[in-house]
């Protein structure tokens, strides 16, 4: 399978990955996260794990267990780490520790290298017996709510090394090596590979979207950090001046109990405008997501906080200009007037949306630049190579 990437990334790049993997051949590697589907982490692991196995590395992927209380706590951790303030459920730390104990006693953690993804399973480091442990943090921890960060730091500082998504997420209070590895997309996946125009139209029609009228699309969880209400406000400002449709596509995730609440808030903000489509699709609706992004005139990712935002790279890969929130990992992908526009308010987003809707040549220029930017920097093969490098360096 990995040979198929050569026509996109080149033989030389592929050879470099295989050479690095030779050093890890036969080793046992484990990835641990909190959900098997929904969200970028699960999506990346579903591609990364088979590729590591293909390179001769004995790689497993395990998902921790937790009840509603646990995931409510970890969602509050997630929000407070990114927002810099927090509202924690009563007994949050005790609930977190209880489920670390449960998972630590249930999971086989006897591996040469273990990647622990995000805060939810970070406490498993207490159960380390052998090997090297790497904490892979996908969210912005540059300005955390101190009580939560201080609680997690007691675990994080015991890892052998740490991976963050952007240089700006680095922390001075961690003495362990911190490596920058931006996330990535798989260009050969159902979500990102080329699909016929007729398929795009068929799927748009299926959801009552007119493919012949302009479309603004945002694909992301119904999460306040993705600013769904700001997206609707932007759309309504644009709608005053030109005909346009808004498609907001999300999916539920087992580790995000807030999703249903935010979805209802967004429904209320949308009102009875028939040109706003709020779609809650099942996880793995990859063909539909592909069609919605390719059918879009503009893609928006108007996050207020964001670790990286895989949907930005997905849209750029499909040559769609992106209006993105100026936060987290989005500025790595959206370069002003090169691949899209960075914004901080709904008004700014509306301004650039209207500009792009009226200027097809600009849309096309940004779209072509965006695809090349992703090809060079944000494909799964580059992330695979980086993981292998971090593992090799951590083993030294």
Tens digit of each residue's pLDDT (9 = 90 or more) over 240-251 = 999 999 999 998
Longest CA–CA span in the chain (Å) reads 63
Q: How confident is the model at residue 40 (pLDDT cuts 50, 70, 90)?
A: confident
The distance of Cα 315 from the centroid of its chain, to the nearest Å, equals: 13
- pLDDT at position 226 is 95
- pLDDT at position 260 is 85
Mean pLDDT of 92-97: 98
- pLDDT at position 333 is 98
Mean pLDDT of 333-357: 98
pLDDT of 253 strictly over 70: no
Q: Which of 283, 340, 302, 286 has its CA nearest to residue 217?
A: 302
Q: Can you name the residues that pair with 217 across neighbouring β-strands?
A: 247, 299
Asked if residues 152 and 139 have their Cβ atoms less than 8 Å apart, the reply is no
- pLDDT at position 255 is 64
The distance of Cα 188 from the centroid of its chain, to the nearest Å, equals: 17
- pLDDT at position 251 is 80
Q: How confident is the model at residue 373 (pLDDT cuts 50, 70, 90)?
A: very high
Decide: helix, strand or coil at residue 184: coil
pLDDT of 305 strictly over 80: yes
Please, what is the average pLDDT of the chain? 95
Q: Which residue has the higher pLDDT, 160 or 283?
A: 160
- pLDDT at position 258 is 79
- pLDDT at position 86 is 85
- pLDDT at position 227 is 96
Mean pLDDT of 187-203: 97
Helical axes 40-54 vs 310-317, angle rounded to 10°: 70
Q: Would you tell me how many other CB atoms lie within 10 Å of the CB of residue 301?
A: 30
Query: Side-chain half-sphere of 10: how many Cα atoms within 13 Å?
Result: 6
Backbone φ and ψ of 324, nearest 5° = -120, 150
- pLDDT at position 237 is 98
The set of residues, in sequence order, having a beta carbon less than 8 Å from that of 52 and lying 6+ positions away, is 21, 29, 59, 384, 387, 388
Q: Tokens at residue 338, please?
A: 């090169």
Q: Tokens at residue 190, please?
A: 């159902």
Asked if residues 381 and 17 have their Cβ atoms less than 8 Å apart, the reply is yes
pLDDT of 283 strictly over 90: no
Q: How confident is the model at residue 257 (pLDDT cuts 50, 70, 90)?
A: confident
Q: Which of 153, 150, 201 has its CA nearest to residue 137?
A: 153
Q: Would you tell me how many other CB atoms lie within 10 Å of the CB of residue 293?
A: 24
Q: Which of 41, 28, 24, 65 has its CA nearest to residue 136?
A: 41
Asked if residues 313 and 330 have their Cβ atoms less than 8 Å apart, the reply is no
pLDDT of 254 strictly over 70: no
Taking the alpha carbons at both ends of the chain, their separation in whole angstroms is 30
Interval 42-90: pLDDT, tens:
989 999 999 999 999 999 999 999 999 999 999 999 999 988 888 899 9
């Amino acid at each position: 399978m990995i040979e198929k990437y050569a026509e996109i990334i080149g033989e030389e790049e592929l050879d470099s990955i295989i050479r690095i993997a030779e050093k890890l051949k036969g080793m046992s590697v484990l990835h641990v996260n909190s959900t098997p589907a929904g969200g970028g982490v699960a999506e990346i692991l579903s591609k990364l794990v088979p590729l590591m196995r293909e390179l001769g590395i004995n790689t497993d992927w395990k998902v921790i267990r937790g009840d509603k209380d646990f995931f409510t706590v970890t969602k509050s951790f997630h929000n407070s780490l990114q927002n810099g303030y927090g509202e924690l459920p009563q007994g949050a730390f005790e609930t977190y520790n209880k489920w670390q104990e449960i998972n630590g006693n249930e999971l086989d953690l006897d591996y040469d290298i273990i990647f622990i993804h995000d805060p939810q399973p970070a406490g498993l480091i207490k159960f380390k017996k052998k090997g090297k442990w790497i904490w892979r943090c996908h969210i912005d921890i540059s300005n955390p709510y101190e009580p939560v960060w201080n609680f997690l730091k007691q675990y994080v500082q015991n890892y052998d090394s740490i991976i963050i998504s952007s240089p700006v997420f680095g922390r001075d209070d961690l003495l362990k090596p911190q490596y920058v590895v931006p996330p990535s997309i798989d260009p050969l996946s159902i979500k990102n590979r080329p699909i016929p125009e007729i398929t795009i139209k068929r799927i748009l029609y299926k959801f009552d979207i007119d493919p012949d009228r302009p479309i603004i699309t945002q694909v992301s969880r119904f999460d306040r950090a993705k600013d769904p209400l700001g997206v609707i406000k932007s759309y309504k400002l644009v709608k005053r001046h030109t005909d346009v449709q808004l498609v907001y596509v999300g999916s539920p995730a087992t580790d995000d109990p807030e999703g249903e609440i935010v979805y209802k808030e967004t429904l209320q903000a949308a009102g009875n405008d028939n040109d706003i489509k709020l779609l809650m699709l099942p996880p793995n609706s990859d063909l539909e997501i592909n069609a919605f992004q390719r059918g879009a005139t503009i893609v928006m990712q108007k996050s207020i906080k964001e670790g990286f935002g895989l949907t930005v790279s997905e849209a750029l890969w499909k040559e769609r200009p992106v209006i993105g929130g100026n936060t987290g990992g989005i500025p790595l992908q959206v370069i002003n007037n090169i691949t899209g526009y960075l914004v901080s308010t709904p008004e700014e987003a509306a301004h650039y949306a209207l500009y792009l809707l009226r200027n097809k040549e600009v849309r096309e220029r940004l779209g072509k630049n965006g695809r090349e930017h992703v090809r060079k920097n944000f494909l799964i093969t580059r992330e695979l190579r980086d993981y292998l490098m971090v593992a090799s360096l951590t083993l030294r």
